[in-house]
Amino acid sequence: MTPHSTAEHHHGYMWLGSGFELAKDGPRRPLHPEFMSNKVVPLERAHWLLKPPALIQGTWSSPQDAADWFADVVRGHAPSFASEYERAASTLADRFARVAEDVANGEDAVGGWYLTGARFLSVSLIACASHRFRPELRCPQR
């Protein structure tokens, strides 16, 4: 497929925390005073690019390497997924195929899962240099 955007690389982000923390949407908005210090996933995926660079788990110019990181992180947590359907090998394989396609096309790829113990896992690959829907957002790494 021909890429749809000019993303030169993807940044990987992961958040694992309380589902109760996820429900507080104020700190997940850029104008909120806690946005920059709060590690919780932002409401809008592109807003990860506004967060401190220390939250970046990795940066990849290779779409396959980015997709592999996503799959590795998710596989590591899959046994704790609250949903049996989401843990199923076929469900995971379908998700990973979509992630690989999205990243190869210069798009973001995100996933979120509730885990046992009222926890939530968010894994995100965010296109950078220039984001398709938020081209005004600069790369957090210089």
Domain ranges of the chain: 9-128
Collapsed DSSP state (helix, strand, coil) of residue 85: helix
Whether the full predicted model's pTM is greater than 0.85, yes or no, is yes
In this prediction, residue 6 carries a pLDDT of: 46
In this prediction, residue 142 carries a pLDDT of: 63
The rounded percent of the chain whose pLDDT value lies above 70 is 94
- Beta-strand runs (E) in the chain: 9-18, 58-60, 109-115, 119-128
In this prediction, residue 4 carries a pLDDT of: 39
Task: List residues bridging with 60 in a β-sheet.
Answer: 10
In this prediction, residue 133 carries a pLDDT of: 78
Token pair, residue 9, equals 């690389």
Between CA 22 and CA 118 the distance in angstroms is: 11
Cα-Cα-Cα-Cα torsion 52, 92, 83, 126, nearest 10 degrees, comes to 20
- pLDDT band, residue 20 (cuts 50/70/90): very high
Task: Say if residue 10's pLDDT is above 60.
Answer: yes
Is the CB of residue 139 less than 8 Å from the CB of residue 128? yes
In this prediction, residue 14 carries a pLDDT of: 98
Q: Which residue has the higher pLDDT, 93 or 140?
A: 93
Per-residue pLDDT tens digits for 52-99? 999 999 999 999 999 999 999 999 999 999 999 999 999 999 999 999
Length of the chain: 142
